[in-house]
Chains A and B, each alone.
Chain A
Amino acid sequence: MDIDDILASVDRGPGASPESAALDHQQLTRFWVAERAVSEVLPWPAPLMERVMDRVRIQIETIEDLAASSADTITNTTHNPNLNLRLSILQTDLARTQYIIRSLLRARLAKLTKYSMHYLVQLASRNKNPLSTASQSQSQSQSSSANPNTTPEDSVPDISALVDTAPLSGPETSFVHAHQTLLAGHYGGSFLGAFPRQLRRLDDNAGGTSMVQGPETKEVVFVRCLGAEVPVLVDGEEGVEEVGVVMRMGDVWVVRWEGVRRAWERGEVELL
């Protein structure tokens, strides 16, 4: 940590300054582009989104106040000739920000509906202690063999007791659960109900192949290297990480997403 870091950390105030609005806007834009570029759902930046939504709320109030005052002074237009211009600038700015937020949320929803089972299983498995995992798998095997009324809904993991919902936000988590429950009910009603009991589950992994499809992290993305040097990891997963090519500052590369995900989390690469 050098002197710049210390100064920067002091400068980082409570966060209501206009400069912080600019920085948050840049982060939001970058996150939106990243979310649009990769196949998986990125970790939800809760503090950032809260600040942005607060600012949007305040800005809407400001615009309403201004519009009201312009209606009051309709007889006296010479009072402030720039009022309409200011209003239109503020509204354009607001619409641009709202567009980014909407596009971001919809892109996430699209991924969530596509891979809903994958994310539910991921959430459920991470938030479970070993004891309940054992009982769960036991109950799974029991339910598929003993319970004659097995429905596809049973294979939807229960996430009601969830505390940590990363990478999703709270509302996204409940959405994905409700979505998958409805979907499972529909499948059950339309065709799965006619199947033998042991074939009704939606998370079957018989034969070593899981039927739950997840996003493909080996797909390539376009990145710009922002750190001095960023190596591309051969395997983004656990274990020994081999290093592939090394990107240098300012370079634009086509690389696998899994190879640069860690660097993206550190903010050293930007998705394009």
Chain B
Amino acid sequence: MAFPLPRGITASEIAFLAEMETVTIVPRQRLEGLELLGGPVEPLIPPRRAALPLWLALLLKRQRRANIMPPPWLHPDSLSLILEVESQHQDYKSAFSPPPPLPGQPSIRDQGLEPTARPQYTLDGNRYYAAPPFLPQNTAQTVVSSRDPPALPYHWVEVGNMLLDVASDDLVDPDQIRRLLKDLREVRMAKMRSGIDVLDDAAIGGGGVALTGVGSMELGEERGFLAGVVDGLRKIGASKEQARREQLAEQRANGGYDGTQDEEEEDYMEF
């Protein structure tokens, strides 16, 4: 058996990924810059802030060589605001609160704007769009931009829990944060479960179910179940889908397209 793990990354691997998030620290001692395989690390000169991968920040924190600046969303005020949106707001009754925007994506306030993806280029010349965990979504901001409402980053469960475990003395009111994180998790888990009704749409070719705003760990928890349900539905509906495809092909061959098939394409909905 070359590899015993199931398809899709497991919980510990998700935590491993979350440790690649960048956080801000205030070093307590000097350390020269290092060339790591994950990229260069800037020299640490107290009391100048530095942005490091979370695993390195935790390593330094455990040895009392640095303090971690908590990310702006990991604060009782931000978390209660997000919790309020998740549980009270009409628009998000059955959807997750919006995630932090990707680079080039307009923030929630200016919905009208078109997103413009900003690719980087890899050494092979391909386009590369950065995404979590390689976006500065957990760094402390020097200027608090009041425009952007606080949002839960993709790895919020893992980063939140790791910081609570190791660096609770750097957080504001860690007990309150712990409570809020738990509440958020329960609210969102209930939404995930209530969304199962629309899973049928993902079982059709070209269809899909939106989970925008979901966290990595939440996805990991539900991955096996969701994929299993959709797979089962697909197998049940396979003959129907085949028949529909043949019918469509026939119509295309006859040149007559009466438009009656349109509703089928449109019956997805976001939840």
Give the B-binding residues of A (Cβ under 8 A).
4-5, 8-9, 11-12, 15, 18-27, 29-30, 33, 36-39, 45, 47-48, 51-52, 55-56, 59, 62, 82, 85-86, 88-90, 92-94, 96-97, 99, 103, 106-107, 109-110, 112-113, 218-220, 222, 224, 226-228, 232-235, 240, 242-245, 247-256, 259, 266-268, 270, 272
Contact = CB atoms under 8 A, between A and B. Distances in A.
B1 interface: yes
A21 B38 contact: yes
Interface stretch (B85-93, B159-167, B204-212): B204-212
Contacts of B123: 12, 15, 20, 23-24, 47-48, 51
B117 A228 contact: yes
B225 to A, nearest CB: 12
A228 B103 CA distance: 11
Interface in B206-225: 206-214, 216, 219, 223
Contacts of A256: 202, 205-206, 208
B31 A25 contact: no
B17 interface: yes
Interface residues of B, number: 80
B134 interface: yes
B232 to A, nearest CB: 11
A8 B199 CA distance: 41
For A220, A222, A226, A268, the residue with the greatest tally of chain B CB atoms inside 10 Å of its CB is: A220
A255 B207 contact: yes
B212 A21 contact: no
A250 B105 contact: yes
Contacts of A15: 123
B212 A97 contact: no
A234 B38 CA distance: 37
A18 B39 CA distance: 6
B172 interface: no
A232 B208 contact: yes
A36 B8 contact: yes
B36 interface: yes
A254 B230 contact: yes
B38 A250 contact: no
A90 B36 contact: yes
A19 B121 CA distance: 12
B187 interface: no
Contacts of A20: 123
B114 A228 contact: yes
16 contacts: A26-B130, A36-B7, A36-B8, A36-B9, A47-B123, A90-B36, A94-B37, A99-B16, A106-B3, A233-B206, A235-B205, A244-B204, A244-B205, A249-B105, A252-B219, A253-B209
Contact of A249 (B104, B126, B199): B104
A248 B230 contact: no
Contact of B37 (A36, A59, A270): A59
B182 interface: no
Contacts of A249: 102, 104-105, 115, 117
A227 B32 CA distance: 38
A226 B205 contact: no
A87 to B, nearest CB: 10
B256 interface: no
A106 B20 CA distance: 22
Interface in B80-136: 99, 101-102, 104-105, 114-131, 133-134
Interface string B1-29: 11101011100010011001000000001
Q: What 6 A-B pairs have minimum CB-CB distances, sorted nearest first?
A: A244-B206, A22-B39, A234-B206, A110-B3, A226-B129, A109-B2
B206 A82 contact: no
Contact of B115 (A30, A107, A248): A248
B35 A37 contact: no
Contact of A252 (B34, B39, B121, B210): B210
B37 A97 contact: yes
Given A25-B37, A240-B252, A242-B206, 10 more contacts: A27-B128, A33-B17, A82-B29, A110-B1, A112-B2, A218-B234, A252-B212, A255-B202, A268-B127, A272-B216
A172 B248 CA distance: 41
B3 A220 contact: no
A222 B234 contact: no
Given A8-B120, A249-B102, A255-B208, A56 B202 contact: no
Contact of A93 (B37, B212, B265): B37
B230 A220 contact: yes
